[in-house]
Each structure stands twice: as C-alpha cells, then as structure tokens.
Amino acid sequence: TLTARIANRVGIARIEQPWDWLDRLPRPDLIVSSLCYHLDAIDVAEACTVRGWPYLNLVECAGWQGWPPDKYVPPLRAAYLGAAANCFVATANCKLVESQISESVPRSRVVHNPYFVSHTSPLPWPKEPGLRLACPARYDLASKAQDVLLEVLAQPVWRDRNITLSLFGEGENNDTLRRLIALHGVQDKVHLAGHVDSIEAVWRTHHALLLASRCEGLPLALVEAMLCGRVPIVTDTGGSGELVTDGHTGFLAAEATCALVCDALERAWVRRAEWEAIGQTAASAAREAIPADPVAEFSQVVRAVAEA
C-alpha cells in the first residue's frame, strides 16, 4: 500500500507503508484515522479499503499551502468518499477539502478536541502592569508563523508601547526564533517562555492571545484563551473565524502578514480599556460553541458510526 504525504510547500512523497501487521488483528468495527493534515488521508484509507474495513477520518488541520497535483486527487478523493464518516474540527477545513477534491465530502460533521481549562469558570483578570500577550503554540514557523509576530512587534509604532509577548511552547524552530528575536531587536518585547504544564498558569498572568497561524484546525490555544476570559487576536485561519466575532469577542487578521496582523493588534490596542469586558464576552461565546465534554461528544459519534 502506498501513502501520499503532501508536505507544506514541499511537494509529494510516496512512501511504502507495510500494513501487513493489520492482518494480525481481529476485524475491527471501525478504524479511526486521526489526520494531522488533511492531505494525509490516503494511506489508512487504502489499507482499510483493501481489507473491507470501515474507517472514519478525523481531520485536525487543513491549509491552502499544499495543493495536490491532479494525479493525486483521485486517491485523495477516494479516501474521503469511501469513509464511513468524515469528522473535522472546523467547517472551514471541510470546505477546503471539498475544493481540493472537487467534490462534496459526504457524511461530514464537526467535532471538538479536548481542552485543558475550566468550561465554566473564567480566570480573574490579570493585575500585571502593561499589556501582556501570550502565544502558546509549538515552535513551528511554517504553520504557527511566530516570525510574523516578531516582525509586527519590531515596527516603530510598538517600540514605546507597554506591551510584551511570551512565546510558550517547544519545537524544531527554537534556535531560529532566538535568532529572529535578535535580528528584529525585540529582546525587550518578546520572551521565549518554553513549555509549561498548565495553560491556566499562562492565562493567570497574560491578558490576550496573539496567534498568526498560516494553517489551522480549531486552535486549542484559542479555545482555552477564550474560556479563560482572555482576548483573542488571531488570523482568520481554519475555524478561528467561526469562533471569534471581529470587534466583539476578539480581533481577526485576514491573513498571517505583518500588515494585517499589525492592523488587528492596533484595533485591539485602541480598545485596550475594554479588554476585560471583551474577554468576558469571549468566554460566554466559547461556552456556547464548545461542548463541556468533547470526548463524550466524539465517543458518541464513533459509536454511532460503528453501529450503523
């Protein structure tokens, strides 16, 4: 069985995948294929189809950066059309897949990932001086675009403003981020905070989320920030625009560019006296949109599909 992995801005690589070990398993009621990226659907789909096993695609992220050449569209289309169900964490991700396979995705639905903050109790507003922004995201510039955030804060307009950014996470671009911070001369503005075990600890001391993703599903960083009562300033990528209402529950930048993110941050800065109230509104909106128990929600979907 062959796999098609379409890497972000890299191209196509077809890699032999040994699936013989599957034949040692008893016949499953359903295979759940969790896809880090929407173009990774082919390998498991082909393995299940050959064996006559039902499978469910769970798409965690999608982006326009990788568009499949025509010769890869038929197997990609078959991977979605042949699924017993196609679950997405954002409606926008489903629409993107439909564009790339040039057909409607059948048996599709939106589900949610588990998060790690309270669903019912926003945190007290931070008392720290100035405005403290946080970006909890893996150090992956291709998708999370922390490079754009550094470019934004290097603009003259932000130099004398009492605003800082903490980059929480870890990843393969740690050294590059350190060098970019020095290159842009924003050592006094931006701090590499590394990995933390408690996301609530982040939001106890930070006022707003700043996230300029180039591709997304529905960012857990966004869900958690809003549930904690913090102001989201994010790119309209994946499901972010489905959760954030611009100017009401947060601020949206159309794309991950310096100019557009700088504009969204400026609009947020002008209304900084309202941030606590906007955060409370964001928390209410998140509670309405996000289930209290996403695991139970998805378990019910899996059971229903397996028993169909």
Reduce the secondary structure of 1-38 to three states and give it as a string.
CEEEEEECCCEEEEEECCCHHHHHCCCCCCEEEEECCH
Contact partners, residue 172, CB within 8 Å, separation at least 6: 139, 140
**Radius of gyration of the chain measured on its C-alpha atoms:** 21
Give CA–CA dist 45/306, Å, rounded.
16
For residue 20, the model assigns a pLDDT of 79
pLDDT digits (tens, 9 = 90+) for 178-211: 999 999 999 999 999 999 999 999 999 999 999 9
What stretches of the chain show up as alpha helix (H) in DSSP?
A: 42-51, 73-81, 91-101, 141-144, 146-153, 156-159, 174-184, 199-203, 220-227, 240-243, 258-270, 275-289, 294-307
Q: Which residues of the chain have pLDDT under 70?
A: 1-18
For residue 23, the model assigns a pLDDT of 84
Angle formed by the axes of helices 42-51 and 73-81, nearest 10°: 60
Contact partners, residue 277, CB within 8 Å, separation at least 6: none
State the DSSP H helix or E strand holding residue 167, giving kind and residue range, or none if neither.
strand 163-168
Q: What is the pTM of this model?
A: 0.91
For residue 17, the model assigns a pLDDT of 57
